[in-house]
């Protein structure tokens, strides 16, 4: 039993079960012990790769997207862009390195609860642990960008049992038996009729006993806050996503996943803090706040914002200069492989890009 598990067990023995969402919050963000708070996260030397860690191409395409959104908004100066869930700052660095036209107006705000991106920030870049309040960044429009953030926000679970819909809660096991004392276990807590009706509406009346659904109130709350902050700008969310009805038809272990050391982890209740806990984003639950103005896969989004032209430019540079062209030429050649990964329809290319015009 690790330290975080021991703390949780002691609390559960004293106070009773907690919701799965509260458990996820502890497992990911408990200071010094949660997965992200203890240094886990994205990166080649860390636990998993997101699109920015594939290489600089993703950031270069996003730089072009920022330019197009800046143009649409009338080239405001300053141009506040909030990256929520910025992690180690990889995406921000590659956007700046690409030299977008909006760079002179760009005010880049990195939001990350678990770590600091730079010890010394470049001009026009700042970091903080929470979203700015509406109006805090000025009176003009704001772009809020979140790449693989919403899948890491705490989420609840519900299950259809023989007697009806129940909340999946986390408790401590008893002290008897060969398993020993005080391990984390699931318990089912019957839902009151109003919440059960929501579950039937999402899963469908033909749902079988054992069906599970995610309850993503935190993600919906985040979207509500982000739309209020954007104030005439836009909110862009990139993540792996589905609908609640689609998730209900699949085993829950397919859409609740754990990751550590570049591999899939085990049971999310095992060794809390040792792995990431992530869930596919239920788009219909976000739509209860506001329907997205645009919903397309990542491959389509990247092509719309110039990835093919950047790949062609890089390939031409390599053909012209070869290895004698040094790092710029080699980086140009690598764009082909990066683009393959970013647009792969069985991988990152299938991620959804959801856009709201605030």
Helices within the chain (DSSP H only): 3-15, 20-29, 51-54, 57-72, 90-97, 193-203, 217-230, 244-248, 252-255, 283-286, 298-304, 307-321, 326-342
User: With contact defined as beta carbons under 8 Å apart, do 358 and 307 qualify?
Assistant: no
CA-to-CA dists, residue 22 to 25, 79, 87, 254, 297, angstroms: 5, 36, 21, 21, 31
**Residue 295's Cα: distance from chain center in Å?**
16
Q: What percent of the chain has pLDDT over 90?
A: 78
Domains of the chain: 3-34+156-215+247-279 (no CATH), 51-152+219-240+281-304+343-357 (3.40.50.150), 307-342 (no CATH)
Instruction: Quick: pLDDT tens for 75-90.
Output: 999 999 999 999 888 9
Mean pLDDT in residue range 256-275: 84
pTM for the predicted model, two decimal places: 0.92
Q: What integer pLDDT is reported at residue 174 of this predicted model? A: 67
Please name which of 132, 61, 69, 71 lies closest in space to residue 98, comparing C-alpha atoms: 61
Q: How far apart are CA 344 and CA 13, in angstroms?
A: 47
Residue 104 and residue 192: Cα distance in Å, rounded? 54
Comparing CA positions, the residue from 282, 249, 306, 246 lying closest to residue 354 is 282
Higher pLDDT, 275 or 261: 275
Structure tokens at 285: 């639950």
Average pLDDT of every residue of the chain: 91
Of the given ranges (19-23, 44-48, 204-208, 351-355), which has the lowest mean pLDDT? Answer: 44-48
**3 state DSSP class of 157:** strand
Listed residue (225, 234, 238) closest to 296, CA to CA: 238
């Amino acid at each position: 039993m690790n330290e975080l598990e021991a703390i949780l067990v002691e609390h559960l023995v004293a106070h009773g079960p907690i919701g799965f969402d509260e458990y996820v919050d502890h497992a990911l963000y408990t200071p010094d012990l949660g997965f992200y708070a203890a240094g886990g996260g994205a990166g080649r030397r860390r636990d998993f790769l997101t699109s920015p860690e594939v290489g600089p191409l993703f950031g270069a395409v996003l730089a072009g997207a920022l330019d197009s959104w800046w143009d649409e908004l009338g080239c405001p100066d300053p141009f506040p862009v909030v990256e929520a869930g910025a992690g180690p700052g990889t995406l921000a660095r590659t956007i700046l390195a690409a030299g977008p036209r909006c760079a002179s107006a760009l005010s880049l705000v990195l939001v990350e609860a678990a770590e600091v991106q730079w010890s010394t920030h470049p001009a026009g870049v700042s970091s903080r642990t929470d979203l700015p309040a509406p109006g805090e960044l000025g009176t003009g429009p704001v772009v809020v960008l979140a790449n693989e953030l919403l899948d890491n926000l705490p989420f609840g679970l519900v299950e259809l049992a023989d007697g009806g819909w129940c909340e999946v809660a986390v408790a401590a096991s008893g002290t008897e038996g060969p398993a020993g004392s005080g391990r984390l276990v699931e318990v089912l807590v019957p839902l009151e009729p109003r919440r059960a009706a929501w579950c039937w509406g999402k899963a469908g009346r033909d749902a079988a006993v054992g069906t599970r659904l995610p309850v993503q109130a935190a993600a919906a709350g985040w979207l509500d806050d982000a739309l209020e902050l954007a104030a005439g700008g836009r909110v862009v969310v990139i993540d792996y996503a589905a609908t609640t009805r689609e998730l209900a038809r699949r085993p829950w272990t397919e859409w609740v996943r754990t990751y550590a050391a570049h591999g899939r982890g085990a049971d999310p209740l095992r060794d809390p803090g040792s792995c990431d806990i992530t869930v596919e984003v239920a788009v219909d639950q976000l739509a209860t706040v506001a329907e997205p103005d645009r919903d397309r896969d990542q491959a389509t989004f990247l092509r719309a914002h110039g990835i093919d032209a950047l790949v062609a430019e890089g390939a031409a540079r390599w053909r012209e200069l070869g290895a004698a062209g040094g790092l710029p030429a080699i980086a140009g050649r690598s764009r082909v492989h990066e683009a393959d990964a970013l647009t792969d329809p069985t991988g990152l290319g299938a991620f959804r890009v959801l856009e709201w015009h605030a």
